[in-house]
C-alpha cells in the first residue's frame, strides 16, 4: 500500500508522490459507507473530529469483551492485561511525538483539559501580578480562555499577537510581544480555522531567550504533521486523539520531565498518590501524579490502534496527501466566482494545512452548510471556537472544509459541483 516519501518536515515538501491510496484506505472506515440525503457521505469536518478505522473500533470492543478491568490496582489477570495495554499506549504516544520519556506523557480527557492542567498547575504557581502571557489571535478558545482566566486570577497581562493580511502569524508583532516579562507563550501548531502553520522554531527560540516557556497547541498539528517535541524544543504540547483516528475522551499532555516534576498535582484523589496518611499525602511519581481517578482505560487502549494506523501510513505521507488535496481543492474552489478562501493562499501551501475556511458570496455559512448537507457533504459552519479571530477579521463565521487521509479529489470535485447548486438555489 505504501512506499516511503522522504520529506523535509520544515518545508513540507516531499521528493516523491504520496504513498497510500485513499480510496483503498476508505474501506477501513465503516462510517464512510453511510448514505446521507441519498448521497454517499462526503466527510469534510475532520478538523472537528476524524472518523475511526475498524481497528480502533475493534480495539474498544476487544477491551470490553475480553479484559475490561481497572488499571494499576489489581493483581488479577484482567487488571494486569488492562494495565499493560494502557501503559503500552503511553509508549506509543511517546514515540509518536518523539518524547524522551514515558513519564512525560499524561493522559487527559482532551486537549482542552491538558491546557487547563498546565494553566492551573504550572500557571497558578508560576504566574504573578505583572507577568505576561503571549497568545495569538487565532487560538482556539481552548488555548485562549484558560490563559485569559489565569491572567485575571493573577493580575497578569494577556498579550495577543495578530496576523498579517495573508492570515499568517505576524512575526514582527510576536518579536515585539515577547520580552523579559513574558513567562509563557501559548500558540497553536496549526490553526483550525485558517490552516496556518505557525513558525514554532522561531517562536520557541524567541521565548527561550527571554526565559519564557512555550506551550504548543497541537490539537490540529499533531494529527496532520510529523511532530517531534525534541526537534521543536517546546516545553508543553497538547493534543486530542479524537482528531487523529482515536476515540473521543482522550487527550495527551506532554511536558518536560523537569518542569512536570516541579508542578503540583492538578486534581487530587486515587491513583495520583503514593502514600496517604491522615495528616499528609505523598504524591505519585510522573506521569500518574497528574492522572487522578480511574482513567479512560478503554479509549486510551483504542488510541493505541490509532497511533499504529498513522505510524503505518507515516506522518510524512499524511502531510503529503493533505498538501496535494489542499492544493487541488484551493485551485478548484478558487475557480468559483464569489469564493473567498481565508488564510495562506495557494502559493503558500507549505505554510498551511488541509483546513479551508471560506466565504461564498453573501451566503450565510449556516445556509451553505445546510445545503451542502442535502448533498451528503459534511462541512462545519460558524466561529469554530475562535471568536477573537472572527472579530479581528470582521466576520461572524465561515464555512470550513477540512481533510484527512481518506478524502479524495473526487470528493473535492463533488463539493465544487454542489457549491454551484448553492449558487443556483440561493444566488451568491
Ligand atoms: C486548534 C485546536 N485547539 C484545541 C482544540 C480543542 O480540542 P478538544 O475539544 O479535543 O479539547 C481544538 C478542537 O477543535 C482545536 O482545533
Return all residues near 18 (Cβ < 8 A) that are at least 6 apart.
5, 317, 320, 321, 324
Read off the pLDDT of residues 65-102 as tens digits, 9 standing for 90 and up: 999 999 997 799 999 999 999 999 999 999 999 999 99
Cis peptide before 70 (omega within 30 of 0): no
Eight-state DSSP code of residue 94: H
**Contact between 402 and 47 (Cβ < 8 Å):** yes
At residue 214, the pLDDT reads 99
| Tens digit of each residue's pLDDT (9 = 90 or more) over 281-290 | 999 999 999 9
Average pLDDT over residues 11-21: 58
User: Does the CB atom of residue 355 touch ligand 1 within 6 A?
Assistant: no
Pairing of strands 35-36, 39-40: antiparallel
Point out the ligand 1 atom lying closest to the alpha carbon of residue 242.
Answer: 10
* pLDDT above 70 for 17: no
Ligand 1 center to 45 CA (angstroms): 13
Q: Does position 2 have pLDDT exceeding 70, yes or no?
A: no
% of the chain residues with pLDDT over 70: 96
* Residue 239, beta-bridge partner list: 252
Domain residue ranges of the chain, discontinuous segments joined by +: 7-52+315-426, 57-311
- What mean pLDDT, rounded, does the chain reach? 95
Tell me if 189 CB under 6 Å of ligand 1.
Answer: no
219 CB under 6 A from ligand 1? yes
Q: Is the pTM of this model over 0.85?
A: yes
Mean pLDDT of 203-211: 98
CA distance 113 to 93: 17
Is 57-311 the same fold as 7-52+315-426? no
Work out the pLDDT band at 13, boundaries 50, 70, 90: very low
- Give yes or no for residue 116 CB within 6 A of ligand 1: no
Residues 28, 52, 224, 417, CA torsion sign: positive
Mean pLDDT of all residues in 40-53: 98
Q: Which residue has the cell 478491568?
A: 69
What pLDDT does 421 receive? 87
Angle between helices 297-313 and 77-96 (to 10 degrees): 40
Cα–ligand 1 centroid distance for 244 (angstroms): 12
What average pLDDT does this structure show over 376-392?
97
Whether 193 has a pLDDT exceeding 60, the answer reads yes
CB of 143 closer than 6 A to ligand 1? yes
Ligand 1 in contact with 192 (CB < 6 A)? Answer: yes
Rounded mean pLDDT, 32-61: 98
Is the predicted pLDDT of residue 161 greater than 60, yes or no? Answer: yes
Report CA(185)–ligand 1 centroid distance (Å). Answer: 17
Q: Which residues contact 389 (CB under 8 A, 6 or more apart)?
A: 137, 138, 139, 191, 193, 194
Q: List, for residues 109-143, the tens digit of each pLDDT value.
A: 999 999 999 999 999 999 999 999 999 999 999 99
Residue 188 CB–ligand 1 contact under 6 Å: yes
**109, 250 contact by CB (below 8 A):** yes
Structure confidence at residue 424 (pLDDT): 84
Give the closest residue to 138 by CA, choosing from 415, 403, 391: 391
The sign one gets for the Cα dihedral 242, 284, 187, 209 is negative
pLDDT at 18: 55
Task: Please tell me what DSSP assigns to residue 169.
Answer: B
CA of 238 to the centre of ligand 1 (A): 9
pLDDT tens, residue by residue, 289-324: 999 999 999 999 999 999 999 999 999 999 999 999
Please work out whether the CB of residue 303 comes within 6 Å of at least one atom of ligand 1.
no
Question: Residue 1: its pLDDT value, please?
Answer: 36
Say how far apart CA 120 and CA 133 lie, in whole Å: 14
DSSP 65: I
Mean pLDDT of 244-265: 98
Q: Quick one: cell of 390? A: 472572527
* Å from CA of 243 to ligand 1 middle: 8
Question: 179 falls in which pLDDT band (50, 70, 90)?
Answer: very high
Q: Is 217 in the pocket of ligand 1 (CB under 6 A)?
A: yes
Give the Cα separation of 38 and 160 in Å (integer): 46
As a whole-number percent, the residues of the chain with pLDDT over 90 amount to 92
Q: Indicate the SS3 state at residue 255.
A: strand
More confident residue, 428 or 390: 390
Exactly one of 385, 390, 416, 426 is catalytic; which is it?
Answer: 385
Q: What is the DSSP letter of 9?
A: T
Give 251 Cα–ligand 1 centroid separation in angstroms. Answer: 10
Please give the average per-residue pLDDT across 49-58, as a whole number.
Answer: 98
- At 9 the pLDDT is 40
- Identify the residue whose C-alpha is closest to ligand 1 atom 15: 219
Q: Which atom of ligand 1 is nearest to the CA of 384?
A: 14
Angle between helical axes of 297-313 and 315-334 (0-180°, round to 10): 80
> Where would I find the beta strands (DSSP E) of 261-325?
273-276, 281-283
234 included as an active-site residue: no
pLDDT for res 6: 41
Is the pLDDT score of 14 beyond 70? no
Task: Tell me the per-residue pLDDT of 328-368, one tens digit each, with 9 for 90 and over.
Answer: 999 999 999 999 999 999 889 999 999 999 999 999 999 99
pLDDT at 74 (0 to 100): 78
Query: Any residues with CB less than 8 A from the CB of 190 and at least 6 apart, and which?
Result: 196, 197, 198, 220, 221, 224, 225, 353, 355
Q: What is the CATH number of domain 7-52+315-426?
A: 3.90.1150.10
Residue 4: predicted pLDDT: 39
Q: How far is the CA of 49 from the centre of ligand 1 (A)?
A: 9
pLDDT grade for 427, boundaries at 50, 70 and 90: confident
Is the model's pLDDT at 11 over the cut of 70? no
Atom of ligand 1 nearest to the CA of 109: 11
User: What distance in Å separates the CA atoms of residue 370 and residue 378, rounded to the nearest whole number?
Assistant: 9
* Closest approach atom of ligand 1 to CA 243: 10
> Do 130 and 103 touch, CB atoms closer than 8 A?
no
Residue 149 exposure: Cα atoms within 13 Å on the Cβ side: 13
The fold adopted by the segment(s) 57-311 is 3.40.640
| DSSP H stretches of helix in 127-168 | 145-154
- Going by alpha carbons, the residue nearest to atom 16 of ligand 1 is 192
Amino acid at each position: 500500500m505504501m512506499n516511503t516519501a522522504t520529506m523535509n518536515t520544515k518545508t513540507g515538501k516531499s521528493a516523491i508522490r504520496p504513498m497510500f491510496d485513499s480510496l483503498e484506505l476508505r474501506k477501513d472506515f465503516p462510517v464512510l459507507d453511510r448514505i446521507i440525503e441519498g448521497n454517499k457521505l462526503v466527510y469534510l469536518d475532520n478538523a472537528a473530529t476524524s472518523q475511526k478505522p475498524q481497528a480502533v473500533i475493534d480495539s474498544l470492543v476487544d477491551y470490553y469483551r475480553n479484559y475490561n478491568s481497572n488499571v494499576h490496582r489489581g493483581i488479577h489477570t484482567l487488571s494486569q492485561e488492562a494495565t499493560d495495554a494502557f501503559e503500552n499506549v503511553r509508549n506509543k504516544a511517546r514515540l509518536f511525538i518523539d518524547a524522551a520519556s514515558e513519564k512525560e506523557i499524561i493522559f487527559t480527557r482532551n486537549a482542552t483539559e491538558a491546557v487547563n492542567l498546565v494553566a492551573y498547575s504550572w500557571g497558578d504557581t508560576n504566574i504573578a501580578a505583572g507577568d505576561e502571557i503571549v497568545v495569538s489571535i487565532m487560538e482556539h478558545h481552548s488555548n485562549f480562555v484558560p490563559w485569559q482566566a489565569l491572567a485575571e486570577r493573577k493580575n497578569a497581562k494577556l498579550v495577543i499577537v495578530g496576523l498579517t493580511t495573508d492570515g499568517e502569524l505576524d512575526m514582527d508583532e510576536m518579536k515585539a510581544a515577547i520580552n523579559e516579562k513574558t513567562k509563557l507563550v501559548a500558540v497553536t501548531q496549526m490553526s483550525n480555522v485558517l490552516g496556518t502553520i505557525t513558525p514554532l522554531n522561531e517562536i520557541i527560540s524567541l521565548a527561550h531567550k527571554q526565559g519564557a516557556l512555550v506551550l504548543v497547541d497541537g490539537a490540529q498539528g499533531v494529527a496532520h504533521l510529523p511532530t517531534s517535541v525534541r526537534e521543536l524544543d517546546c516545553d508543553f504540547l497538547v493534543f486530542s486523539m479524537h482528531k487523529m483516528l482515536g476515540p473521543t475522551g482522550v487527550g495527551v499532555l506532554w511536558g518536560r520531565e523537569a518542569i512536570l516534576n516541579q508542578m503540583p498535582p492538578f486534581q487530587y484523589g486515587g491513583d495520583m498518590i503514593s502514600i496517604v496518611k491522615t495528616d499528609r499525602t505523598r504524591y505519585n511519581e510522573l506521569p500518574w501524579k497528574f492522572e487522578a481517578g480511574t482513567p479512560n482505560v478503554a479509549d486510551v487502549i483504542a488510541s493505541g490502534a490509532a497511533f499504529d494506523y498513522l505510524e503505518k501510513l507515516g506522518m510524512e505521507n499524511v502531510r503529503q496527501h493533505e498538501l496535494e488535496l489542499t492544493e487541488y481543492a484551493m485551485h478548484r474552489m478558487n475557480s468559483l466566482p464569489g469564493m473567498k478562501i481565508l488564510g495562506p493562499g495557494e502559493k503558500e501551501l507549505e505554510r498551511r494545512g488541509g483546513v479551508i475556511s471560506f466565504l461564498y458570496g453573501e451566503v450565510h455559512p449556516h445556509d451553505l452548510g445546510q445545503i451542502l448537507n442535502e448533498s451528503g457533504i459534511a462541512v462545519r459552519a460558524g466561529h469554530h471556537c475562535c471568536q477573537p479571530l472572527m472579530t479581528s477579521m470582521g466576520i461572524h463565521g465561515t464555512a470550513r472544509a477540512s481533510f484527512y487521509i481518506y478524502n479524495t479529489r473526487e470528493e473535492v470535485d463533488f463539493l465544487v459541483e454542489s457549491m454551484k447548486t448553492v449558487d443556483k438555489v440561493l444566488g451568491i
